[in-house]
A and B are shown apart, each in its own frame.
Chain A
């Protein structure tokens, strides 16, 4: 029996879906408007794409979903849990209390319950301070009534004993069912950023349950019995169970998916990806087929975090961007008609001049019901504005002066000219408009380790093989087929001013989905 994969990407404007055959070739695709409840939009996209492909619901082997549920919940401070934030590290760390730099409304939305308790470790695994279990139990009781706990212990990426013990104490004091996020499972060295990501994760578990049931219900409604997965922000997949525990990893999965999809559709492994949406254009870099990761702390909802995110520049130009003329100057964006493109734009009989209208009037593209009459000078200036914005973003993402391949994807791809400065070649691969749905459908499953090793009591090779086997185990736990798992990235940084030859190793493994 032939088996198929279905990729669904829920964006701010459109819900895209694509069906791939067993050779991972797209055989049908659709773009439907994203709905308020998200799940009816998913059902619409599912119906459309199955009808177009002629594939039956029970011929689907796996379904992958990229979603903005978690991202939106943080941005809108909506549906977040009240969190008990426990930091283990006193008497150190008291100079910066948890959530100090959070926006006040976001801290208030999760209840602003914070405590710094005795415990934690040194970089080499020695105890910084004893864990005081009575103190921990008292604090847990004081936090009674919170929906979830976030536990962050100093140097837990080196030793997680204190975090694990605190989790046991929470289960004893409260209930086995209370969600607990442990920082060693979520981030790497850098206490504040790891604590922030862990706290956001704890705040998101109810939203994750909502997203998962929207997804499961939509599939149920159409009798889809395939394995279900969520896309995560490093461009790989996780099981629904894993997503329920680590919803923070679904944040910003969209851009990663489009980078991977663009790589797959174009065959380009190294280059720059330009993803033109309705409101913004995201420019990312592709290294060996994967999104290049950001090397600086990434902000989510104005909160600094240090976990894996693609290195991206977002420019306020998209297919729905307003084209404005003031004193002879033409600007494009950042205001956009967004999802109302098909009613507001001139080409669809509306009254707003958008970037799409400029292209429709100037070239032979067949979009909408009208051919808008746009002054040729306005067209020239709008096009040159868009070209400048995109070329500048491409230039900022490049790491060398040599021209590199540029792959253009997304619904607004027609805006980008074929002769960009800095590009050795501009690719607009077929199915470019659903690249992110393709990206999530072909995604692999990964596991990652980021740890500090002391090379006094073990050799470098032993430390490396420990990190590698843990990364492989984590990939397998996340759903990868063990036989296909490869180490895809190794970073090794010797640490200055530290005794004992300390080295920080960051290893990532990825493999095909276990069918």
Chain B
């Protein structure tokens, strides 16, 4: 399925319901994705069953205070910088990106990354709604490590996090972001 600017509106509406009052304003995420798709073209949305077993899927999201996120809007290049930091670390290119949470602002954010990186989005997420902290992901329940993770800001600054514990990943990433709008991937 191809996701253009019209489909984004439906996804943002669903993200509002799934966010159940949290997760930031999906309207902002929708506009970020809309501008990226207008500039770079529509995005391919792929069912999880079609993803190859050895594919590299890098999750992308924005982290920080929702109140700040509606005022200091993203530059747009931050999540791309994070993805490319991990690509450098692993020595291979990302095949897909995917939302961490399907509620709130982060449900539409990966579509901007996908448009700018020209990679598909996997039609799945790690929560089924919006969540307060990184280790609340389904992946953590099944013992999947969230690292290496990269955090980037609008100035082009970035940090790489390596830890064996996803709760400490949340604590470290939160410490770095602490009110800054950035994107661990």
Residues in A lying within 8 Å of B, measured CB to CB: 89-97, 100-101, 120, 122-124, 128-129, 154-155, 189-192, 304, 452, 495-499, 504
User: Which of B31, B64, B178 interacts with A96 by CB under 8 Å?
Assistant: B31
Q: Are B32 and A497 in contact (CB under 8 A)?
A: no
- 9 contacting pairs across A/B (C-beta < 8 A): A89-B72, A91-B154, A92-B72, A92-B74, A93-B72, A100-B35, A123-B68, A189-B71, A496-B67
Asked if B72 contacts A155 (CB within 8 A), the reply is yes
The answer to whether A499 touches B73 (Cβ under 8 A) is: no
The verdict on A123 contacting B35 (CB below 8 Å), with A89-B72, A93-B73 known, is no
CA distance A101 to B65 in the complex (A): 23
Interface SS of chain B: loop
B35 engages A97 (CB within 8 Å): yes
Q: A96-B32, A123-B72, A192-B73 are in contact. List 6 more A-B contacts (CB 8 A).
A: A90-B75, A91-B155, A120-B72, A129-B155, A497-B65, A498-B65
Q: Please determine whether B31 and A100 come into contact, CB atoms closer than 8 angstroms.
A: yes
B130 within 8 A of A: no
Assess whether A95 is in contact with B155, with CB atoms less than 8 Å apart: no
Contact B70 A191 (CB under 8 A): yes
Number of interface residues of B (CB under 8 A): 28
B71 with A497: CB separation less than 8 A = no
Of chain A, the residue at the smallest CB distance from B177 is A497
For chains A and B in complex, what number of residue pairs have CB atoms within 8 angstroms?
91
Where the two chains meet, the residues of B that have a C-beta atom closer than 8 Å to any C-beta of A are 27-28, 31-32, 34-36, 64-68, 70-77, 112, 154-156, 174, 178-179, 181
Residue of B nearest to A90 (CB): B75
**Residue in contact with A495 in the complex, picked from B65, B72, B77, B155, CB distance below 8 Å:** B65
Contact B179 A95 (CB under 8 A): no
10 smallest CB-CB distances across A and B, nearest first, come from A95-B76, A497-B65, A92-B154, A93-B73, A95-B74, A95-B32, A96-B31, A91-B75, A498-B179, A91-B154
Name the residue in B72, B75, B112, B154 with the highest tally of chain A Cβ atoms < 10 Å from its Cβ: B72
**What are the residues of chain A within 8 A of B155 when measuring CB–CB?**
91, 129
Given contacts A154-B72, A155-B72, A190-B71, contact A95 B66 (CB under 8 A): no
CB distance from B12 to the nearest CB of A (A): 12
